[in-house]
Amino acid sequence: MSESSPTPEAIHSDAFLARLMRDQLKLSIACALCFAVALVALPLLNYYQPAFMAQRVFGFTLTWLILGVLFFPFVWIISYVFIKRSIALEDAEAQAAKDGLTK
């Protein structure tokens, strides 16, 4: 490693990397689960509750309205929450690492 590197030992520790990856992965998996539940549930509802899903809502069938229209804003909300939290997480990590550098 070059001697001019300013990065403190703490950043290169296994513990730092493990925490970094764990925190980010936790957030990603939580968001992915919300999405995955919806993706798994809709076909299952169509399969087991066809009459319920076929009821008319504003002329659409319920399942058509969910899949053709409502699914998009649902995913936008997940992605917005993810972006906000993940950027906050990155800022906190960078700040923590810099604090470590000046100490």
Partner 1 sequence: MNALVAAAGIDPWIAVCSLVTVVITVGMGFWTAGKSKSAGDFFVAGRSVSVGWNASAISGEYLSAASFMGVAGMVMATGYDALWYPVCYACGYLFLLLFIAGPLRRFGAYTIPDFAEGRYDSPMFRKIAVCFVLFIGFFYTMPQMKGAGTTLAYIFPGLPYWAGVVVVGAVITLNVSLGGMKGITLVQAFQYWLKVFAITLPIFVLAAVVGQYQQHLAVNQTAQETTVTAVPGIERKALPAKAPKDEAWIAPFGKLTTKAVDASIAAASTPEEKTALEANKKPYSLLYTYSLIIALVCGTAGLPHILVRFYTNPDGVAAKRTTMWVMILIGVFYVFPPVYGVIGRSLTPELYDAVGAKGTDKVVLELPTLLAGRDHPLLGSVLSGITCAGAFAAFMSTFSGLLVSMSSALAHDIYGRMLRPTSSPEQRLKAFKWSALIVGVVAVGLGSQVEALEINFMVGQAFAIAAASYFPLLFMSVWWRGMTMRGAATGMLVGGLSALASITLTSVSDVAVAKAKKLTDAAELAAYWADHPLAKGIADFWVAHPLARILCEQPAIWAVPLSILLMIFVSKATAATVPADIRMKMLVLHAPEALGLKQEYIKEHEGLGGH
Binding residues for partner 1 (CB under 8 A): 1-2, 5-7, 11-12, 14, 17, 20-21, 24-25, 28, 31-32, 35, 39-40, 43-44, 46-47, 50-51, 53-56, 58-61, 63-64, 67-69, 71-73, 75-76, 78-80, 82-83, 86-87, 90-91, 93-94, 97-98
Q: What residues have CB less than 8 Å from 24, skipping those under 6 apart?
A: 86, 89
Minimum distance, C-beta of residue 54 to partner 1, in the bound complex (Å): 5
Between 2 and 103, name the residue whose CB sits nearer to partner 1: 2
Minimum distance, C-beta of residue 65 to partner 1, in the bound complex (Å): 9
Region of 59 on the Ramachandran plot (φ > 0 left; ψ -120 to 50 alpha; else beta): left
Cα distances (angstroms) measured from residue 84 to each of 12, 14, 31, 75, 95? 27, 27, 12, 14, 17
Between 5 and 102, name the residue whose CB sits nearer to partner 1: 5
Token couple for 67: 């899949």
Minimum distance, C-beta of residue 13 to partner 1, in the bound complex (Å): 9
Query: What are the start-end ranges of the E strands in 1-103?
Result: 56-57, 60-61
